[in-house]
A and B are shown apart, each in its own frame.
Chain A
Amino acid sequence: MAVCPVYTTQSLNSTCSISTPSKTHFSSHHNHLVFYRTSKRTSKRGGSSSCVITCSAGDSQTVVIGLAADSGCGKSTFMRRLTSVFGGAAEPPKGGNPDSNTLISDMTTVICLDDYHSLDRTGRKEKGVTALDPRANDFDLMYEQVKALKSGIAVDKPIYNHVTGLLDPPELIKPPKILVIEGLHPMFDERVRDLLDFSIYLDISNEVKFAWKIQRDMAERGHSLESIKASIEARKPDFDAFIDPQKQYADAVIEVLPTQLIPDDNEGKVLRVRLIMKEGVEHFSPVYLFDEGSTISWIPCGRKLTCSYPGIKFSYGPDTYFGHEVSVLEMDGQFDRLDELIYVESHLSNLSTKFYGEVTQQMLKHADFPGSNNGTGLFQTIVGLKIRDLYEQITAIKTAAPLQATKA
C-alpha cells in the first residue's frame, strides 16, 4: 500500500476517497474519523481488510450550489439550463428507483431537498405541518450529507417519493464536481448555508405564480380557478414565514414580476424579470450594462433593431437589498427574433462567456424550454455561465495550492 498522508476534510489541498469492494455507508457518521472505522472493517471475502485509501489532489473539489424554488425539484427548467452549460443532459440515475428526484450529468448532480423530509405525507397530516414547515425536514441529515459530498465522500441519500408520499429506500450518491441542492430550504439552516459556494433564490411574484399555476393545473379535471387560488392562499402563510426569508441570504435572486409594458396585463405572458446580484461575493462578478456601477435605462428597439409589441426594455443599476449592496439587471418584455437576442448579448458585460454569442447559443439550444423568449431564460442562462466561471475559479485555486506546498 502506498504511503499516503491522511488529511482531515477541512484541508483544501487534498481530500481522500475510500474505495472498498463492498458497498460503502457513510450517511450516518457524525465525525470525520471514517477512515479509522472502515480500516477496521473486514471484507466479506474474509482475511484482512481490503480497503484501499487513495488520496489525490485535484479530486473531490465539489462545488456546492443552492437553489431555492417552489416549483418542484430537479426537473425545473433552471436545472436543465444549468446542467446544459456544463455539457451533457442531466438524467435520473439509471437502473434505480424510477421515482428518484435526483438528476446526474457528467459534471453535475442535482439533489432534491424533499428527500430530506423527516415526515412523509401521512406523518405531516398527523402532525398538521405542511412540507414548507421546517419541522417536516431533517436538517441534521441534510447538513451531514451535503458536507460529506462536499468532502468527496459518497452518501446513501433517502428518496422522497412524490407519487406515493412515502420515504423510499436510499440511493447512493457519489460526490460530483458540482453538487446542486434544489428545493424549498437550501438556505434555511445556517450550517448548510455555510457549505454553499453560491446560492440562488427564484422569487416569483404572487400574480405570476397564480398565472403559472393556472397554466399548469387547468387541464386537470380535478382543478378549477377556485381550487388553484385556494391552494396558493392556504400555503402562503407558511411560505412567507419559512421560505421567503431565505432570499436575504442568496447571492443572486431572480425576481419574476408582471410586465410594466402593457397596462393592466394579468395574463402573465409578458414578464418583467430582475436579476439581483450581491456585490462582494467571492468568485462572482455581477453582469452589467454599459458602465459598471452607474444607472442605465435602455430600450434596444429603434433604428438598428425593430421589435414587435410590446418590445424590450432593460435597466441596470446599484441598489440595496436587505442591507446588502447589490447590482440589479432588469429585462421587461420578450425576444421575438434571434437578432434581438444577439444584439442584447453584445451590449451586456461580464457575462463570463467563453466566446461571443454563447448566451444566444445556449438560449437557442433550448428554444423549446419555457422562458426562452424572456428574461427568465436569459437570466437563468447567464447565472449558469456565472456558476461555470465560479467553478473554474475555485478549482483553479485548489489545484494551485498543492503545487505551492511541494515547493516549500
Chain B
Amino acid sequence: MATLRLHSLTAASEKIPTSPFAPSSRVLSASFHCNEKRVSIRMTINAMGGGAKYKGTQMREKQLSDMIKMKVTEAKQVCEGDETSDECKVAWDEVEEVSQAKADLRLRLEVEKKDPLESFCLENPETEECKVYDD
C-alpha cells in the first residue's frame, strides 16, 4: 500500500479522479488481482481493500443497484406525461437519493476500506448478515 501512496501524486492526471465518487483505478486493479486468488484468505482482500466483507453488505450493494434500475425505469414512466410535474421531480429525486447511497457505500468500501457492518458483526458474528461471503 505504501508504494501506491507515494505514486499517487506523480501519477496524477489520469489516475486520480476529480469526482468525489469514482473509485480510484488503482484500488480497482488491486482488488481484481486479489479476486483471482480467492482462495487466499479474506485478510489479504481486506488489506488491499475494495469489496464487501460481510454478506449483509453484499446484499445491500445488490439491493441498491436493483433499486437504481427500478427507480430509473419508474421515473421515465412517470415523466412521460409531464416533465415538469411534481411526480416527475420526486421520481428523479429518488433516483438521485439511491444513486448517492450506492456511491457512498462504494466509497466507504473502496477508499476507506471499512465494511459498515464491521462493528455490528464483531458483536453478532452468528447472524445471517455477518456471514463472510465465500463462493
Contact = CB atoms under 8 A, between A and B. Distances in A.
Nearest to A371: B18
Nearest to A132: B93
B93 A216 contact: no
Nearest to B100: A72
Contacts, number: 173
A215 B96 CA distance: 14
Given A95-B123, A124-B90, A215-B17, A165 B97 contact: yes
Interface size class of B (residues with CB under 8 A): 35 or more
Interface string A97-127: 0110000000000000000000001001100
Given A95-B120, A231-B95, A337-B10, A76 B101 contact: no
B48 interface: no
A162 B20 contact: no
Given A132-B93, A162-B100, A231-B75, A212 B9 contact: no
B69 A98 contact: no
A335 B9 contact: yes
Interface in B37-82: 60, 63-65, 68-73, 75-76, 79
A371 B21 CA distance: 11
Contacts of A76: 20
A75 B120 contact: no
A216 B10 contact: no
A231 B20 contact: no
A230 B13 CA distance: 29
B123 A269 contact: no
Contact of A336 (B12, B73, B75): B12
A134 interface: no
Contacts of A269: 13, 17-18
Nearest to B86: A128
Given A125-B90, A231-B96, 20 more contacts: A71-B21, A72-B103, A77-B20, A91-B114, A94-B119, A95-B120, A130-B89, A131-B97, A215-B19, A216-B21, A217-B103, A220-B102, A227-B76, A231-B99, A234-B75, A235-B93, A238-B93, A268-B19, A269-B17, A373-B9
Interface of B: 4-5, 8-10, 12-13, 16-22, 24, 26-27, 60, 63-65, 68-73, 75-76, 79, 83, 86-104, 107-108, 111, 114, 116-117, 119-120, 123
16 contacts: A95-B123, A98-B119, A121-B97, A125-B94, A211-B18, A215-B21, A216-B19, A220-B99, A231-B75, A231-B96, A237-B89, A338-B9, A368-B4, A372-B8, A372-B9, A374-B18
